[in-house]
Every structure is written in C-alpha cells, then in structure tokens.
Structure 1
C-alpha cells in the first residue's frame, strides 16, 4: 500500500499569532512525501538529507490518516514508513511543516485508497491536528496549511479552523532566506499579541483583496514584535507590491512585477543567505 504526494510552500500575508486570523499564499516550491503502509503497528519517519530531523509531525500525520480513514477491521494496516523530500528550507518561515504535513496526509490517504474521497479541506485539517499534537505550531497554522493544500491565497480564522476566503492569484514572488533558523513554536506569542489591533486591520485588508498592502503592514508589525530588522522590507519598498517577514521568520517575501523584483533581488543578494525568484501556485497539494 503505497502513496506519493506533493504540497507547496507558502508565504505570509498575515501572521495569525496576534489575533488568531491569518493569511498566506502558496509558492512554487514543493515538499514530496512517500508513504508505505504495513502491519507493523508503528510509523517510522525519515527526512531526506536530514538524518537528525524531527519526524514526529509526519509520523503523526500517517497515524491520524490510518485512525480516521483506515478500515478498522483490516489488521494489515496498522503502521508504516514515511519519507519526505523538500525544496523548502526548514524553520525558515516558508511553511515547511505545513507542506510536509499536507504531502504526508495526502500520500497516506492515497496509500489507503481514499485520497479522492476526502475533501481537501478535511485532509488539511487532519494535518493541522497532527501539527498541534506534535507541538510544532502555536496557532495550528490553518492559514499556512490551507494555502499549501488548496493553492492560491487564503484567509482563515485559526481559532476555529475556518476558511474565510480563498482566491487564485498570479504573482511573481521573491524570497530571501538568511542562514539562521527560527522555529514557530519558539515565537514569543505574548509579545505578538501586542500588535493584535494592527493584525485586525491587516485581516480587513486581506478580506478586501488588498493583499500587498496587508502583507506590508503585517511585515512591519511582526518585525517589531519578533525582533527582526525591517531593513529588507525597506530594500523592496516602494517598488514591490507588497513585502513581509514570512511567518515567524527569518525569511522575507516580496510580490510585484518581475522586473522590479529582479532589482530587489540584487539588493537582497548583498545579504548573507539565499535569494530566489519564483511564482505563486494555485493548484495546491496533489497526489502523484
């Protein structure tokens, strides 16, 4: 019983840590998961090229898929193995955990033969539940997970795992990822709550379709709340349509005209780390 699936990374429009509402957009960089189910009674996980990586999230995704959608009378399916391989840097604010969870859930559902019977939103919520169980997220990250699973840009209420809006978008995207890592579970939530009034304004902008303005306001607010310099944002403004710290950092994402983003890329490349141009992705996660 074998399944394989991929899910895209995402960038931030609104960080959900302040108010519970969040918004993100899928970008064209993927994580792929392969799942083999068996009768071992336990799930073993593996991350390609990262032998010391924490595999609790992807293992829990397989466990929940079996619990929720496996045949309880079938003793042959009680465990398995999951392996992920990713183009998305870990702990960089680009939703690597959400992409891994979505890909793993879909791969497990494919191995169970039910991938086409489970609504994508329900599959997404299963991965969010696994992320909470594994302790890799504070908010549940339904905003990030929904953008990755469904594609395009989404706006959500993470307190109820409610999808408030989704829209297909065709943006060029510039990403700068410094060498440092920042784990979402380590973010100072209480400090982020200080910018909740600003986050509500950002949510209104996003629900009004003003995503570029929303992400820029979000970026300045969360740079302050999380202790990041806003200098990379100033490198992109006023030319980019929008620019923000992505997630809890340390990556920054900018959207706009490709010619403009190439100019911003030249400035960001003067900083340590990796800078790359990509696009939005509207198809979301898929079995392969």
Structure 2
C-alpha cells in the first residue's frame, strides 16, 4: 500500500522559544513524501539529494501514524521525501517533512480524508519531539504548514489560538550557512520573553506584519544574527523577520515594493526568491 502527500514550508511571525507562544505562515514551497507500507515491522527513510541526512523524523512519523491509525497488519515500510525547502534554514523544513509524511502514511492507509488535519499535525509534532529536532515541539510551524494561512499557537499546550487565511507576497533570503533549531541558545531567547509576549498580542490582534518585525529585531539580538537584512528591507516591506532560528529572513508586503528589497538582498551572498503565501496547507495527491 502506498501514499503520497505534500506540505508547504513556513515563515515566522513569532518564534516560540522565548515565551512558548508562536506564530507562522505557510509559503509556496513544499516537501513531498512518498510512503510504501508493508508488514516488515521496521521503517526505512530516505531524503532525496541528502543521502547522509538523519531520517529519524520521517521514520517516526510513519511509526506514529501506524500506531495511531493502523490495523496491525501493516507494521513497517519505507518513506522518501523530496523537497524544495532548504534544510536547517529556518523555513520549517522539518515541519513540512513531518506533515507530508504523516499525510502520505494516512493516504496509504486510505484514511487521509477521515483524519482531521489538526490531529495529523499533532502526530508530526510528537514525532519531532521523539527525534529531538525541535526544542518547543514546533506546533506553530507545523500548524501553519498543515493548515495553511497564518496560525498563532501556545506550544506549551499545543493549543491553536488563531488561524486565518492570508494573501501576501513573500520575499525570502537564505544565506549559505545553516542553523539547526535544536542547537539554539534557549536561555538567551528566554530573556526576551516580555518582548515575545508583546509580539503574541500583536499577532492575536491580526497585526502580523508589525509583529514579525518586532520579533525579528528581538531574535536577531538573542540569537546573534545581524539585523542588517531587516534594516535594508524597511520601510519597503510591510513586515520582515529572521525566520525561525535563522539563518533565513522573510519579508512580506506589496510585490512591487518587495522587488526593490530583492534587489538589495541579491547583493548579499546566498539565495533570494519571491513567492506567496499558501492557504491550502498539507494535501494528498
């Protein structure tokens, strides 16, 4: 039995490391997972174009989905992910991979449309905790990827505080270096908790662009990233932030204005691309 699904990447409005609350929005770049199930009792994972990458996350996603929704006859299999999303770049590649893998497993079981998307998302979050690829559980990132649009969450309780569709143009700049969220200095981030609470309030008021800019300056300081990319994006961008624990930056606003920001970010080393938000989230196909 086989299944196939995809889930989008996401950008940050609020990083949850400081106060436990987070917010993210889905962007139009995705990870696709293909799952084949059997009765072997073990799951083998493969990440396209990264033969040495750790596959524990996607393997745990298959295992958790089978444990929750399988009938016992299918106990193992294989999973392969292909992605447009750079790994360890702050663009929620792990959440996209987890969501796509869970949905592909449910597709292989023939029940993808029967399982609520929030429930499927929580399976991936638990698998991420099992695999140690996240500090917070990343329910904010995972919910944005799975549900689409923008979400606000409390990652301490995995509570969805807000969710709505958005239609934004999005500019992304990803420098050559990588940064793994599990390696972030949590103690430094916790020092800016009062600022993060302010960002959460802004997000819950629907003031996402302002929220992400405040988040960006605060977390550039906490995680020791230069704020120069943010300064070069303002005031043309409606909002701009370090995404996740970096190193990527994301900006939202009018496409024409973001084109000017793109010209300036193109002078930096790395990759710059202009895209849009996604409101459909994870999907089987």
Q: Secondary structure at the match of 1:265?
A: helix
Matches within 5 A, 1:165-244: 165-244=162-241
Question: What's the offset of the Cα at 1:39?
Answer: 1.0
The answer to whether the aligner puts 1:164 opposite 2:167 as a matched pair is: no
Q: Which consecutive unaligned segments of at least 5 residues does structure 2 have? A: none
Q: Distance in 2 between matches of 1:5 and 1:226?
A: 34
Q: Secondary structure at the match of 1:232?
A: helix
Aligned to 2:103: 106
Aligned to 1:59: 59
Q: Secondary structure at the match of 1:104?
A: helix
Q: Which consecutive unaligned segments of at least 5 residues does structure 1 have? A: none
CA RMSD of aligned residues (A): 0.4
Question: What's the offset of the Cα at 1:167?
Answer: 0.7
Question: What's the offset of the Cα at 1:40?
Answer: 1.0
The answer to whether the aligner puts 1:115 opposite 2:112 as a matched pair is: yes
Cα deviation 1:203-231 (Å, max 9, x = unaligned): 00000000000000000000000000000
Cα deviation 1:3-31 (Å, max 9, x = unaligned): 00000000000000000000000000000
Cα deviation 1:218-256 (Å, max 9, x = unaligned): 000000000000000000001110000000000000000
Match for 1:151 among 148, 152, 156?
148
Q: Distance in 2 between matches of 1:202 and 1:261?
A: 23
Cα deviation 1:47-101 (Å, max 9, x = unaligned): 00110011000000000011000003x2xx1100000000000000000000000
Aligned to 2:12: 12
Provide TM-score, normalisation by structure 2: 1.00
Number of positions where the alignment pairs a residue of Structure 1 with one of Structure 2: 285
Structure 1 ranges of 4+ moved more than 6 A: none
